[in-house]
Structure 1
Amino acid sequence: MRKTSFVLALLLAGQLTVLGQQTETVGKSPWGSDDEIGSLNLMSNYTRFEVLSQIKSGKTYDLSVDYFVGMPSFHSLGDPGYQYWLTHTPNGTAVDNPNGLGKAMNRKVSYTGDAISMYTHMGTHIDALNHFGLNGKIWNGFTPEKHLGDKGWKKTGAETIPPIIARGVMIDVKSSKGIFPENYRITVNDLQDALKKQRLKLQPGDFVVMRTGQAEFYEDANHYLDNYPGISLDAVKWLIEEQGTMLLGADNLSFEAFPPEREDNWVPVHTYLLAEKGVMFIEQMYLEELAKDEVYEFAFIAASLKLKGASGSPLRPLAIPIKSE
């Protein structure tokens, strides 16, 4: 019964192509008028158990990057960078005595506390479906007039994103293609060539992550942000419409390359995925260890922070190798 439900879900997902937004209008969800998670509806207890049952070892890869002052960010658009500050230090607590227990106690029990401030689309994070819309609407026809309050969106906020467990496939375009020209747009052929070299085929419901090698420069923000490669709109359409990909990811700043490939849309890949197809994606992942060990197929496990109403959230994705069929 569970497997039948999964197949039906995949058939429904195929309707996203039929509802095809060639004129760039927001998609209507095949999962109903209240749907807030789009293609993540393809997950089920069956699909999660299926991939977990294929784990072949306990080795785990952390696919997230560090957060630190000076880390790469979207500061060019006016968004705040990452800030960190100490709220309590061992010596300061002894001097200030904030707990009223005296210097002797505060010398004995050292106390350190800290705080951060950051844009939600920094570091390894997932874009929620309200992040980008088209013509005044976001995925499934939700509008800011009805669904956006002063404290965030009432629909498709980051708190609605479920824990993700799925078959993961890394397409190592960097190893397959080599050095990229500036602002290179990764094509369908690039993806197919890499998959052929890796002897892997995609399956409906996969999490597909693309390695550009950009994470190698993450500690150097200027280099990391400079003319990085990204996926083309045609390649994304191939993944979604022909391969049935459920979730996407990459190791660059914003998944697609700039300047935009369309004159009438400055983020055509973002709007196609989020607004038209209801497909979320993860940016700024760390894939270098997977590439080094040539791990291309894995159980992908991730959960984002439940930031109510937010357009995105940090998350800590993990990869555990699975057996190949």
Structure 2
Amino acid sequence: MTLPDAFLDIARRVNNWGRWGPDDEIGTLNLITDEVVRAAAATVRSGRRVPLAVPLRQDGVQTGMIPGRVNPLRTMVALNLEMFGPGTIATSDDVVTLGLQAGTHWDGLTHVSHSGRIYNGRPADTVTAHSGAEFSGIEKVSSLVSRGVLLDVAAALGVDRLPGGHAVTPEDLDAAEELAGTKVRAGDIVLVRTGQIQAYLGGDKQAYAYPSPGLSIRTPEWFHARDVAAVANDTLTFEIFPPEVEDLWLPVHGLDLVEMGMLQGQNWNLEGLAAACAEAGRREFWLDATPEPFVGGAGAPVAPVAVL
């Protein structure tokens, strides 16, 4: 199946291949400069810390809809083991098996491909079964801290949670930016709140997964125009699901990750942050969201923390 012209036209407008050189592997994270980080640090006023990750647990957010993406299975492999002899210090250890995108996570730049290519024009077959991602593995994101901006689309539209069929548009992002009281600028990490995570927190992960509000195919141009470094939201699929364009699955993934080289995150719990921001009267903050450095990974868990 050939990708439709509507997708390819947007792809040409947001493409960043070669922008930071032919050897670049981190895409829009290049926009987080030392100056951006210094300015981000100035957003810390009260020191209030808000965790944004969902707990990693065996009955986590995954429903089985995505093949192989298993919730964490943790097993004890040592229980108060006196490994150096009776009466010595004892240790307890555990091991875990999980999908790297099972919980709160970043999608790496190799998470999707289209037309045989990944970010910066590299062949998609540089991702192999043996080694994973030869280029742009998630370990290349050595640090991810910047100014975070909460775009609370649900609040901007006067609801607590967007309906499942709502595709977040650039106009919605404009409204949320106005509510935030600050302009999104180069190097920012944008967090888009839909309120969808409430379904999971309320115990209904099937309703959380499907149908889901999410970002429209029109939003990558909004982020590209503002030179956003990374985007995350509070849904399982990131973009609207089922798709807004019939038979065009994961177009926003293809535009963000492949064309722009922009990380995107899913399953972020933004409910506490929304409340804290409303209380503080501002929606900008210091954000630490560095992923676990799995070598060759197409994504990784993250335990992000916002500091107001």
Do the structures match in fold with TM over 0.5? yes
- Secondary structure class of the residue paired with 1:289: helix
- Amino acid in the other structure paired with 1:230: G
User: In the alignment, which residue of structure 2 is the partner of 1:252?
Assistant: 235
**TM-score, reference length from structure 2:** 0.87
1:75 is aligned to 2:58: no
Deviations 1:239-294 (A, max 9, x none): 223x2222111011121011222345310000000011111111111111111121
Q: For residues 87 and 272 of structure 1, do their structure 2 counterparts lie closer, same or farther at Cα, with a shift above 3 Å needed?
A: same
2:28 to 9, 25, 39: 39
Partner of 2:3: none
Partner residue in 1 for 2:4: none
- Paired position in structure 1 for 2:138: 158
Describe the shift of the 1:189–1:146 C-alpha distance in structure 2 as closer, same or farther (beyond 3 A): closer
**Contact 1:248–1:282 (CA under 8 A) maintained in structure 2:** yes
Distance of 1:77 and 1:147 partners within structure 2? 19
Whole-Å Cα distance in 2 between the matches of residues 316 and 274 of structure 1?
Answer: 21
Q: Following TM superposition, by how much is the alpha carbon of 1:110 offset from its aligned partner in structure 2, in angstroms?
A: 5.0
**Partner of 1:272 in structure 2?**
255
- CA distance in 2: counterparts of 1:265 and 1:148, whole angstroms: 25
Deviates more, 1:132-141 or 1:208-217: 208-217
Whole-Å Cα distance in 2 between the matches of residues 84 and 149 of structure 1? 24
Partner of 1:319: 306
- For residues 21 and 73 of structure 2, the distance between their equivalents in structure 1, rounded to whole angstroms, comes to 40
Is the 8 Å Cα contact of residues 126 and 135 (structure 2) preserved in structure 1? no
Q: 2: CA distance between counterparts of 1:149 and 1:122? A: 19
CA pair 47-194 structure 1, distance change in 2 beyond 3 A: closer
1:223 aligns with 2:207: yes
From the superposition, tell whether residues 54 and 136 of structure 1 become closer, same or farther in structure 2 (CA, over 3 Å).
same
Q: Which amino acid aligns with 1:186?
A: V
Matched with 1:85 is 75
Contact 1:172 1:210 in 2 (8 A): yes
Gaps of 5+ in 2: 1-6
AA matched with 2:189? F
Q: Which whole-Å CA distance do the structure 2 matches of 1:27 and 1:149 have between them?
A: 27
Match of 2:219 in 1: 235
Contact 1:21 1:27 in 2 (8 A): no
Counterpart among 93, 96, 114 of residue 94 in structure 2: 114
Residue number in structure 2 paired with 1:310 = 297
Superposition pairs for residues 138-217 of structure 1, below 5 Å?
Answer: 138-146=118-126, 148=128, 150-177=130-157, 178=159, 179-217=161-199
Q: Mark the runs of 5 or more structure 1 residues left unpaired by the alignment.
A: 1-19
Q: Please give the root-mean-square deviation of Cα atoms over the aligned residues, in Å.
A: 2.2
Aligned residues: 291
Percent of aligned pairs with the same amino acid: 28
Which is higher, the Rg of structure 1 or of structure 2?
1
Q: Following the alignment from structure 1 to structure 2, what is the Cα–Cα distance between the partners of residues 74 and 37? A: 30
Give the structure 2 partner of residue 128 of structure 1: 108
Structure 1 CA distance for aligned equivalents of residues 18 and 248 of structure 2: 23
The answer (yes or no) to whether the contact 1:162–1:303 under 8 Å persists in 2 is yes
Q: 1:137 to 1:60 in 2, by over 3 A?
A: same
Instruction: Note the C-alpha offset of 1:119.
Output: 0.5
| 222-231 or 29-38, larger mean C-alpha shift | 222-231
The whole-number CA distance in structure 1 between the counterparts of 2:63 and 2:26 is: 25
